[in-house]
With several copies, the nearest count.
Chain A
Amino acid sequence: MYDNHILTDVGCRNVWENGKKVGYGVNLKINYYRGLPLCCVDEIALEVDGEKVDPADMVVQHRGREYPYLEILKDDFPTDFYWVFGEMLRVVIKKENGIAQGRHQVKLKLATRRSYTPTMSATCEKTLTFA
Chain B
Amino acid sequence: MKTNRDIKLGVSLYSYQDNYYFHKHDLEGCIAAAAGSGAEGIEVFADSMIAEWPYITDAFVDKWNGLMARYGVEQVCLDHFADRAMWKNKQLSDDQLFERSSMYIKAARKLGCSTVRILHNEHIGTGFSPVRLTDVKEVERLLPLCAELGVMMALECHAPTTIDDSIHEPYLEVAEKLGMPFVGLQADFSSYEYCFSKAGIGMMVRQGATEEILHFVRNSQREAYFNGVPFVYDEIKHLVEKMNPNEVDRKILPRIAKKSPASYETLKKYASKLVYVHGKFFDFDENGQVDNIDYPKVLQALQEGGYKGYISSEFEGNRSMNDIGWVDEIEYVRKHQALMRDCLGYNG
A and B touch in the complex (CB under 8 A): yes
Chain A contact residues, CB within 8 Å of chain B: 1-5, 9-14, 16-21, 29, 33-37, 39-40, 42, 73-77, 79-80, 82, 84-87, 98, 101-103, 113-119, 129-131
A75 to chain B, nearest CB (A): 4
List the A side residues contacting B72 at CB < 8 Å. Answer: 16, 18-20
CA distance A58 to B131 in the complex (A): 29
Instruction: Judge whether A85 and B25 touch: CB under 8 Å.
Output: no
| B86 beta carbon closer than 8 Å to chain A | yes
Main secondary structure of the interface of B (DSSP, over half): loop
Closest to B73 in A: A19
Interchain CB contact (< 8 A) of A35 among B53, B55, B123, B322: B53
The range of chain B's interface size is 35 or more
B5-56: which have CB < 8 Å to A? 14, 17, 19-26, 29-30, 32-33, 35-37, 45, 47-49, 51, 53-55
Question: Which residues of A are found within 8 Å of B19, using beta-carbon distances?
Answer: 131
Is B21 a contact partner of A3 (Cβ separation < 8 A)? no
B-chain residues with CB within 8 Å of residue A2 when the two chains form the complex? 21, 322
* CB closest chain-A residue, reference B49: A85
| A34-B81 CB under 8 A given contacts A75-B90, A77-B87, A131-B330 | yes
A75 close to B83 (CB less than 8 A) = no
Question: With A9-B24, A18-B72, A101-B334 known to touch, is A84 a contact of B51 (CB < 8 Å)?
Answer: yes
Closest 7 CB pairs of A and B: A19-B72, A131-B33, A34-B47, A101-B36, A75-B90, A115-B81, A34-B48
Q: Which residues of B contact A76 (CB under 8 A)?
A: 87, 90
Question: Would A1 and B87 be within 8 Å (CB), given that A33-B48, A116-B129 are in contact?
Answer: no
